[in-house]
């Protein structure tokens, strides 16, 4: 296992542990949060640093940023072109674009 791969796994586990802690200590609506505002800010800063380092490692490895979340009803950025529309157009055939 390479050094960057090991670091990537460590960052992934750290993110998962922080996420689990956040889920477990999040109070019900209307209840007071058990953490101070400073601690909440520190956790956000940690998650931000983890994200930044993960991005650096991905860029160094040449990974394409396809890890972005998307909604299932979101319009895809690419469109599928049917094979029948690929080819030569006749001289009298109008442009369908």
Give a yes or no: residue 95 inside a domain.
no
Counting the structural domains of the chain, the total is 1
Tell me the backbone φ, ψ of residue 11, rounded to 5 degrees.
-60, -40
Residue 64 pLDDT exceeds 80: no
Q: How confident is the model at residue 47 (pLDDT cuts 50, 70, 90)?
A: very high
Please write the tens of the pLDDT for every residue from 2-35: 888 899 999 999 999 999 999 999 999 999 988 9
Give a yes or no: residue 79 inside a domain.
no
- Full domain range(s) for residue 8: 3-61
Percent of the chain, pLDDT > 70?
Answer: 84
Specify whether the CB–CB gap between 7 and 49 falls below 8 A.
no
Give a yes or no: residue 89 inside a domain.
no
Report the Cα–Cα distance between both ends of the chain, in Å, rounded: 50
Please write the tens of the pLDDT for every residue from 50-59: 999 998 998 8
Specify whether the CB–CB gap between 43 and 22 falls below 8 A.
yes
Give a yes or no: residue 15 inside a domain.
yes
Identify which has the larger pLDDT, 54 or 63.
Answer: 54
Task: Kindly provide the b/e burial profile for residues 9-42, where b requires at least 16 CB atoms within 10 angstroms of the residue's own CB.
Answer: eebeeeeeeeeeeeeeeeeeeeeeeebeeeeeee
Q: Which two tokens stand for residue 6?
A: 């090991």
Residue 43 pLDDT exceeds 70: yes
Give a yes or no: residue 19 inside a domain.
yes
The pLDDT, as a whole number, for residue 16 is 95
pTM above 0.85, yes or no: no
Q: Alpha-carbon distance 27 to 29, whole Å?
A: 6
């Amino acid at each position: 296992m390479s050094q960057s791969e090991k670091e990537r796994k460590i960052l992934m586990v750290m993110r998962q542990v922080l996420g689990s802690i956040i889920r477990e200590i999040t109070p019900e609506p209307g209840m007071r949060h058990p953490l101070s505002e400073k601690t909440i800010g520190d956790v956000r800063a940690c998650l931000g640093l983890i994200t930044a380092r993960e991005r650096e490692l991905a860029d160094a490895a040449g990974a394409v940023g396809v890890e972005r979340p998307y909604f299932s009803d979101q319009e895809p950025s690419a469109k599928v072109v049917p094979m029948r529309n690929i080819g030569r157009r006749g001289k009298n055939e109008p442009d369908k674009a």
